[in-house]
Structure formats: C-alpha cells, structure tokens
C-alpha cells in the first residue's frame, strides 16, 4: 500500500470568477461553492467568509475542520461517507496546504463546538489560528438539533466535507510543489531491521454515544459499533476516518487532524531509523465497564499478535474515557508491551484536582497536553463570525450562561472568560502542540 499526497501551498485566498489555484493563491467562485453547500435541503442559509492568521476575528461555534483535497482517480476523499466504499490510503491525492474549511454554526452551538481567535492573545491556544480558513457559516432547519447539548450537526459537517472536496478538485490536473509518499512494509517483511524496537500506535477514537450521529466514523461506520482493529496508517491519512460531534471541543480530533495526523507522520519518519513502525491499532472509547475491558483486551492481544515491543496510546477525550485509556495502558503493560500515553487532563480550574478519573501505577509514562479546565480570559474582538452568544447560551463545554463568582462567559463588552475546554481542538493530542511542561 502506497499513498502519494501532492502538496500545493496556499499563501492567500480570495473570491473571484473562477475557482482555481494560481501563483500560490486559491481563488473561490463563491456562488458556485455555495451551490455545493446547498445540495443538502436542510441547509436554510449559508455564507462563506475568508479569514487569515493575524486577523482580529473570533469564530464560534466551530464544528469541524477539513483539509481541501481531491483524488486523481475521481473517487471521493472520504470513502463510505461522501461516496462509495474503497480502501483508503492507496493511490494519489492532491492537497491544498496551509488552509482548511471550517464548518461554523450561524446561530446554534453545542458543547462539542469550539472557538478560534485568529489574532491576539487567544490565537496561541489552537493550531487553526495559523491557517488560512474558509469559513462555511450556515444554519439548518433541523429543529430537533437546536438547544440539544450534544447536537449532531450532520448537515453542516457534511457540507464542509463537500466544500473541501470541491476546492481540492481545482488542483486535480496541476503539478504539485512536493509529493509526500507513505509506504510501510508488511509486519513480516524481511527488510525490517530486526534490531529496532517494533512500535504500534493505538488511537482511541471518540465513540461514547450509543445513538447514531455523534461518534467518529471509519469508512462511514460508527466507531461505537466496532472492536479494536489493526489498520494501515495510510488509511487514517487517506480519509478513512472522519471526526464526530460529541467530544468536548478542546479534546476533539477534527477531520483535518485525522488527515494530517502528526504522530503518524513522525512514526513514519522514524521507521527504519530508530523504530519499526507496525501500524495503527484503531480502538474506541466505551460506555460500560465490560466494553472498556473488552476493548483493552483486544488491543493487547493485537499488539502481541503483531509482535509489538512498545506502543503509544492516544486518547480523544477525558473524564469517562480515562477509564478506557488507563485500562488499555495496563493491558498492554501486562502483555509485556512498553507503553506511553498521550492525553489531556482535567485538574480543575485551580489545577489541584486528580488529573485523570482513573489512575494506575503501571501507567508511569504519560505525556500531558494540557488542562481542559484552565481558565482563559480574552478581550473583545472587533469581528465575530458565527454567534458569540452561543458560547454562553448553548452549553459549549468551556462556557456558561452565568457563574455565581465569575459571571457570564460572554460579557456585555464582548470580552469572554471560559475554560480551555471550548478552544477548538485546543489540546492537540494528535501531535501539533507546541506546549511544554514546567516544574515549580
């Protein structure tokens, strides 16, 4: 299996008569792009707004981020979701780099939605402030989703994917600036260096909801319905997985994150040098205790069966999923697989609480990506895209309508106070993070 991703680096985005990529500039025919968005009759109103790094703009509620891409064979970039099923991670794709499509609610949000500041102090809290963003700002007629804390927002997220594919197709017939090639020999291939440790990456995707429409999808299949399985890392990078709409936002992995998963790319870069990269054990996060135990057992037995010496476990979420995270690490350690965990933590607003719901002495190598409850206070922004009041009104995971001590999240002057929880994909467990640890 060999995946080639041809990269086109976008330095500017503007509107024009024709959607095209020329001289490092992406030009968008707005009317044509909106016609792609409005293919779904549930979308009642929509607009596209371009924002750039450093713009004094606040975007909320942000629901999803997608990298614009296309496949040269004409297949959809998200098999089993936007089109027929095929095995992702093989063949040739083209990608517009340094930019994303953001799906933004025009009026209504939920606790899985987040906030992005493109400029000022708040920009440092999320990777997406550094991208050129095509904001799809839309509303729907789906009354059953309004005022629901755990909204599905399928219409907006699917529209964002269609828009990303439409934009990506403008470079289908062009020559890329560079080509990334991802190839991994089989686990039994004799070319592997037997002296190097064999390492697997365990991804615990968001899958806690037993109702349809909330969880991450693999080839369009709800991850709540699956058992841990071995996947080729190319499948993740190639569009096999899309983000869900349940996880508190700072903990969430967007579809853009899956398309570009930095930890996967790092393990690829070390393959044959410091490690033998075996692949991805794609796991899930469960509700009941027996489900958690079963998933941990499956992860450990897969790791043993492929001969893993070590594993990295990455958790999408916190709280209840911590039980899955720790159980998985313990099961791997019991199976003689040395394991490192990647997660955020919830130590409370004062930083004094237990960091994970469940702990174990065998989980002795964990990388923290930050505290979801860290307080963030930001001044007013001259421009707001979406609806600022959603942070306070709609139960976003880091916002509130009123607090006895702190008052409302959204103040009359437009300044905000919130927990890191509401920063869009802010904890960057996937590997974007530039955070560091300090001892006091």
Q: How many domains does the chain have?
A: 1
**Cβ–Cβ < 8 Å for 97, 10:** yes
Q: How does DSSP classify residue 79?
A: B
Please report whether residue 164 resides in a domain: yes
Got the DSSP string for 242-272?
E--S-S-GGG---HHHHHT-HHHHHHHHHBT
Please report whether residue 98 resides in a domain: yes
Nearest to 19 by CA among 173, 176, 171, 159: 171
Q: Which residues of 10-19 are buried (b: 16+ CB within 10 A; e: fewer)?
A: beebeeeeeb
**Mean pLDDT of successive 10-residue stretches along the chain, which has 440 residues:** 97 98 98 97 96 98 97 97 96 98 92 95 97 97 81 92 98 98 89 91 94 93 95 98 92 97 97 96 93 96 97 94 96 98 93 90 94 96 97 92 94 97 96 79
- Tell how far CA 269 is from the center of its chain: 21
Please report whether residue 111 resides in a domain: yes
Q: Sort residue 414 into left (φ over 0), alpha (ψ -120 to 50) or beta.
A: left
Q: What SS3 state is found at 368?
A: strand
pLDDT at 401: 94
pLDDT at 16: 98
Convert the pLDDT of each residue in 280-331 to its tens digit: 999 999 989 999 999 999 999 999 999 999 999 999 999 999 999 999 999 9
Please report whether residue 427 resides in a domain: no
Please report whether residue 438 resides in a domain: no
Please report whether residue 158 resides in a domain: yes
What is the residue-averaged pLDDT of the chain?
95
pLDDT at 146: 79
Nearest to 26 by CA among 118, 134, 116, 160: 134
**Cβ–Cβ < 8 Å for 183, 1:** yes
Please report whether residue 433 resides in a domain: no
Q: What is the domain extent for residue 294? A: 2-422
Please report whether residue 432 resides in a domain: no
pLDDT at 145: 83
């Amino acid at each position: 299996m060999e995946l080639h991703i041809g990269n086109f680096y976008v330095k500017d985005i503007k509107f024009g008569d024709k959607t095209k990529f020329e001289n490092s500039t992406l030009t968008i025919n707005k009317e044509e792009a909106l016609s792609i968005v409005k293919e779904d009759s549930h979308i009642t109103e929509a607009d596209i707004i371009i924002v750039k790094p450093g713009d004094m703009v606040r975007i909320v509620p942000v629901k999803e981020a997608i990298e614009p891409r296309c496949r040269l064979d004409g297949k959809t970039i998200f098999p089993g979701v936007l089109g027929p099923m095929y095995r992702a991670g093989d063949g040739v794709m083209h990608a517009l780099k340094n930019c994303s499509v953001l799906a933004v609610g025009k009026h209504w949000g939920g606790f899985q939605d987040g906030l992005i500041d493109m400029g000022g102090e708040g920009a440092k809290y999320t990777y997406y402030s550094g991208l050129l963003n095509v904001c799809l700002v839309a509303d729907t007629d789906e009354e059953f989703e309004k005022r629901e804390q755990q909204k599905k927002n399928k219409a907006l997220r699917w529209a964002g994917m269609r828009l990303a594919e439409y934009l990506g197709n403008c470079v289908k017939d062009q020559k890329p600036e560079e080509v990334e090639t991802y190839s991994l020999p089989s686990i039994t291939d004799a070319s592997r260096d037997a002296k190097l440790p064999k390492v697997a990456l365990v991804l615990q995707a968001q899958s806690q909801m037993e109702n349809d429409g909330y969880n991450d999808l693999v080839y369009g299949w709800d991850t709540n319905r699956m058992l841990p399985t071995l996947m080729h890392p190319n499948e993740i990078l190639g569009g096999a997985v899309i983000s869900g709409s349940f996880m508190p936002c700072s903990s969430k992995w967007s579809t853009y994150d899956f398309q570009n998963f930095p930890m996967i790319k790092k393990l690829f870069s070390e393959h044959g040098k410091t490690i033998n990269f075996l692949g991805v054990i794609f796991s899930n996060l469960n509700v009941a205790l027996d489900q958690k135990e079963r998933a941990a057992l499956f992860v450990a037995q897969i790791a043993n069966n492929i001969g893993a010496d070590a594993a990295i476990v990455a958790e999408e979420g916190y709280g209840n999923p911590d039980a899955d995270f720790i159980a998985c690490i313990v099961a791997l350690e019991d199976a003689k697989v040395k394991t490192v965990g990647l997660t955020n933590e919830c130590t409370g607003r004062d930083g004094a609480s237990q960091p994970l719901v469940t702990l174990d002495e065998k989980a002795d190598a964990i990388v923290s990506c930050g505290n979801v409850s860290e307080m963030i206070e930001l001044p007013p922004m001259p421009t707001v895209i979406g609806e600022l009041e959603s942070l306070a009104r709609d139960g976003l995971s880091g916002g509130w309508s009123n607090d006895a001590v702190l008052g409302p999240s959204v103040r009359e002057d437009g300044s905000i106070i919130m927990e890191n929880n509401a920063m869009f994909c802010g904890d960057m467990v996937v590997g974007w993070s530039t955070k560091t640890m300090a001892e006091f």
